[in-house]
């Protein structure tokens, strides 16, 4: 569980997020809904202490400095070493969590080995996204945050990724953000929204409700 208490964030005396308190449940898939510029990326950066803020984030009774090695954030544009090939990137970022053979085996579920031997600067946007997904399976974080993870992926990979994320949630606490609502509709457990500069839990067990994120967005955000 991630507990957020009295979180607020301002830039140059302009309040972006007003005092908000909420809990992200353990081993659930939570989705954070809000328009561009509402503060989704800012929230993630504050959770990881990449920016200063007011309030507290507690991960199972610990602060981020105590469990940072159990956290992973996948940004929309995943950073890799462009002049190294895919396998070498995975070995470096994998922090010796898996052997080279194990890494190759995991990676082969996402990308052709011929591609993995090429420099990442030759990869398409979607191929770099797949490389980042391989890294998740290598590192096996306890807390996983993914920003716009479906962008750049083809239909078949999107279909597979839904199942993968659901399987990951058995062992991971997952927070997602994005705008391709059709991708997220049937995998979201808990729905959080940005409204009136505050973050609130709108609904638990959202995917069981039969509602659509598109309709919720129209009702709550627009």
Q: What is the pLDDT of residue 128?
A: 92
Alpha-carbon gap, residue 135 to 140, rounded angstroms: 8
| Residues of the chain scoring pLDDT < 50 | none
Q: What is the pLDDT of residue 222?
A: 64
Q: What ranges do the domains of the chain cover?
A: 2-77+142-220
Fold of the domain built from segment(s) 2-77+142-220: Rossmann fold (3.40.50)
Q: Which residues pair with 45 in a beta bridge?
A: none
Q: What is the pLDDT of residue 38?
A: 82
Q: What is the pLDDT of residue 118?
A: 97
Q: What is the pLDDT of residue 36?
A: 82
Q: What is the pLDDT of residue 12?
A: 86
Q: pLDDT tens across 16-65, in order?
A: 999 999 999 999 999 999 888 788 899 999 999 999 999 999 998 899 99
């Amino acid at each position: 569980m991630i507990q957020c208490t009295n979180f607020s964030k301002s830039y140059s005396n302009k309040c972006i997020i007003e005092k908000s308190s909420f809990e992200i449940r353990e081993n659930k898939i939570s989705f954070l809904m809000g328009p561009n510029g509402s503060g989704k990326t800012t929230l993630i950066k504050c959770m990881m202490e990449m920016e200063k803020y007011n309030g507290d984030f507690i991960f199972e009774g610990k602060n981020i400095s105590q469990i940072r090695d159990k956290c992973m954030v996948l940004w929309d544009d995943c950073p890799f070493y462009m002049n190294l090939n895919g396998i070498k990137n995975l070995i470096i970022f994998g922090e010796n969590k898996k052997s080279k053979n194990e890494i190759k085996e995991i990676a082969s579920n996402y990308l052709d080995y011929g591609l993995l031997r090429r420099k990442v600067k030759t990869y398409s946007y979607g191929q770099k996204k797949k490389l980042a997904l391989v890294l998740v399976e290598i590192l096996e974080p306890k807390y996983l945050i993914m920003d716009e993870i479906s962008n750049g992926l083809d239909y078949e990979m999107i279909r597979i990724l839904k199942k993968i994320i659901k399987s990951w949630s058995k062992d991971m606490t997952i927070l997602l953000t994005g705008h391709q609502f059709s991708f997220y509709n049937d995998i979201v457990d808990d729905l959080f929204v940005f409204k009136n500069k505050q973050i609130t839990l709108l609904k638990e067990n959202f995917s069981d409700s039969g509602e659509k994120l598109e309709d919720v967005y129209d009702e709550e955000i627009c």
